[in-house]
Amino acid sequence: MTEERIQQAWDLVRHGSEFSPAERAAIEYAHAVVRHGVDAAAMQPLYDEVKKHFDDGQVLELAVFCALCIGFDKVIATLEVPVEFCEIPPSKRAE
């Protein structure tokens, strides 16, 4: 995924049409879990949409990846590690 696509995933309102329905479902699910921490009842419509595009194993993989991101974020915060954002050099991108 390119840096541009990653940035577009942050704003599905503006860039949603540039993603497939499966990609949008996964991104919306991940945003809800990682960025918003919504409860199970609020997650149900998102979960239902993800299930239209992915099998149980893939949904579990997405959920576990979200959990890893949340955990990583908390560990970095407790260690007070400064987070620096930089563009990935073209030679290191997986395109």
Render the chain in DSSP notation, one character per residue.
--HHHHHHHT-HHHHGGGS-HHHHHHHHHHIIIIII---HHHHHHHHHHHHHHS-HHHHHHHHHHHHHHHHHHHHHHHTTPPP---PPPGGG---
Per-residue pLDDT at 12 exceeds 90: no
Per-residue pLDDT at 42 exceeds 90: no
Triad 61, 34, 93: Cα angle to 5°:
70
d(CA 7, CA 2): 9
Per-residue pLDDT at 95 exceeds 60: no
Per-residue pLDDT at 15 exceeds 70: yes
Between 4 and 22, the higher pLDDT residue: 22
Average pLDDT, rounded, for the chain: 81
Q: What is the pLDDT of residues 45-82, one digit of tens each?
A: 999 999 999 999 999 999 899 888 888 878 887 888 77
- Does the predicted model carry a pTM greater than 0.85? no
